[in-house]
Amino acid sequence: MDRGPILRINDLKVSFQSGGNYAPAVDGVSFELREGEILGIVGESGSGKSVTSLASMGLIPSPPGKIDNGKIIFAGKDITDISEREWRKIRGNQLSMIFQEPMTSLNPLFTIGNQLDEAIRLHTNLTKKESKSRCIELLGLVGIPRAEGILKEYPHQLSGGMRQRVMIAMAMACQPKVLIADEPTTALDVTIQAQILTLMKELNNKTKTSIILITHDLGVVAEICERVIVMYAGQIVEQGEVRKILKDPEHPYTKGLLKSIPEIRGKKDRLYSIPGTVPEPGTVKKGCRFAARCPDAFARCQMEEPELYKTQKDGHEVRCFQHTLKEGSGDHAGVTS
Ligand SMILES: Nc1ncnc2c1ncn2[C@@H]1O[C@H](COP(=O)(O)OP(=O)(O)OP(=O)(O)O)[C@@H](O)[C@H]1O
Ligand code: SF4
Ligand SMILES: [Mg+2]
């Protein structure tokens, strides 16, 4: 299988107006999504996950937001500065997105059939009849039985899990090359969550659609992703292969996230959570953005901001001075942003 990048984001910077100033919500993020892979983006609330994905879809609301820098390369083409008209052709067609709460993206006034039909016919020349059989085929693809009946129902008549399946069917309507799923299972109970994750893995296998899965839960990443990006305060702090990062995380933030997965801790008592919260954009003026919460912080961390260092391991990168202590500082050529 070709494992070249289908989507590449280069040095993305996005800021939002707060008071009279702009504060950076995403600050120099670069990554690539390879063909056919499932890439996880993980981090606590406010770390910049959604802003990164919205920017990748040309959906940053402006105002209050603005893209200060960055390139978006999709299927080898620079789409950074394309017009809204061109974005509409790509969005929902080649690049698709599903959101956390399906009720907010499904229109309560229209049936599931109406909405699926619209998603299909917006980007294809199918007739009404052809579109209907495509709707049924899509609902089958996402594991919805008695599809004919569901087409006539309204969103509120479905369970949360069913609605999320419909959203996925809608996002898959035009066989997108890339699907961005922003917390697709957060609003669902654990059993349904597992079913939706399995479904996404199956779709990825069957259709070869590359997926970016955004979540605050490393446990979800462990289930279905091959590679993971860990974000903190608008930056990537660690990225690499999921197997490696789960076994041997290097950034203190990743270690903290890992400790908060119940299965991995294997204990039933209260779940660990990293003390404190993600700083608001622009509020850390000096030093490492994680320093105030980091159990390993030392003097240098208060003064300088660490860069993203390439380690010796395959594609693995970490933004922490401890890496330079371990490996010596001779590998600065490996700094990627
Ligand atoms: N529409 C907006 N207006 C103003 N500021 C915003 C807006 N959207 C995002 N931000 C800023 O960007 C920061 C990062 O937001 P983002 O939504 O990307 O976080 P997230 O990682 O997706 O968090 P969550 O897990 O809660 O969804 C927020 O803390 C906020 O300061
Ligand atoms: S650079 Fe320092 S404060 Fe930042 S994560 Fe590493 S040890 Fe902690
Ligand atoms: Mg979000």
pLDDT band at 108 (very low <50, low <70, confident <90, very high): very high
- Residue 332's pLDDT band, with cuts at 50, 70 and 90, is very low
The predicted model scores a pTM of: 0.92
Distance CA 167, CA 301 (A): 44
Q: Do residues 8 and 195 touch, judged by C-beta distance below 8 A?
A: no
pLDDT in tens, 211-223: 999 999 999 999 9
DSSP helix/strand/coil, 240: strand
- The atom number, within ligand 2, closest to the CA of 237 reads 5
Q: What is the pLDDT of residues 238-263, one digit of tens each?
A: 999 999 999 999 999 999 999 988 66
Pocket test for ligand 1, best of 14, 18, 22, 51 (most atoms within 8 A of CB): 51
Nearest atom, ligand 1, residue 214 CA: 22
257 token code pair: 């996230």
- Residue 11's SS3 state is strand
Q: Is the pLDDT of residue 225 over 50?
A: yes
Distance 85 CA to ligand 2 centre (A): 44
**Confidence band, pLDDT 50/70/90 cuts, at residue 103:** low
User: Once rounded to an integer, what is the mean pLDDT over residues 159-174?
Assistant: 90
Report the pLDDT value the prediction gives residue 331, as an integer from 0 to 100: 44
The pLDDT score that the predictor gives to residue 336 is 53
Q: Rounded to an integer, what distance in angstroms lies between the CA atom of residue 14 and that of residue 326?
A: 33
Q: Which two tokens stand for residue 156?
A: 């509120």
Res. 102: pLDDT tops 70: no
What pLDDT is stored for residue 275 in this prediction? 93
- At 328 the pLDDT is 56
Q: Given this model, what pLDDT does residue 22 score?
A: 95
128-141 and 112-123 helices cross at what angle (nearest 10)?
A: 110
Condensed to tens digits (0 to 9), the pLDDT of residues 11-59 reads: 999 999 988 899 999 999 999 999 999 999 999 999 999 999 999 999 9
Residue nearest to atom 5 of ligand 1 (CA): 16
Structure tokens at 286: 């000096």
Question: Alpha-carbon Rg of the chain, whole angstroms?
Answer: 21
Distances (CA, A) of 131 to 97, 100, 125, 174, 243: 21, 26, 9, 11, 41
CA 136/CA 97 separation, integer angstroms: 21
What mean pLDDT do residues 73-100 have? Answer: 92
pLDDT band, residue 312 (cuts 50/70/90):
confident
Cα 144 from Cα 136, distance rounded (Å): 9
Q: CATH class for domain 5-109+154-334?
A: alpha beta
pLDDT above 90 (res 69): yes
Average pLDDT over residues 295-315: 93
For residue 49, how far is its CA from the centre of ligand 3 (angstroms)? 6
CA distance 218 to 222: 6
Q: Which residues are paired to 72 by β-bridges?
A: 9
Query: If you average pLDDT over every residue of the chain, what do you get?
Result: 90
The minimum-distance atom of ligand 2 relative to the CA of 300 is: 2
Nearest CA to ligand 1 atom 9: 51
In this predicted structure, the answer to whether residue 333 has a pLDDT above a threshold of 50 is: no
**Is pLDDT of 327 > 80?**
no
- Predicted pLDDT of residue 265: 45
Is 335 a residue whose pLDDT tops 60?
Answer: no
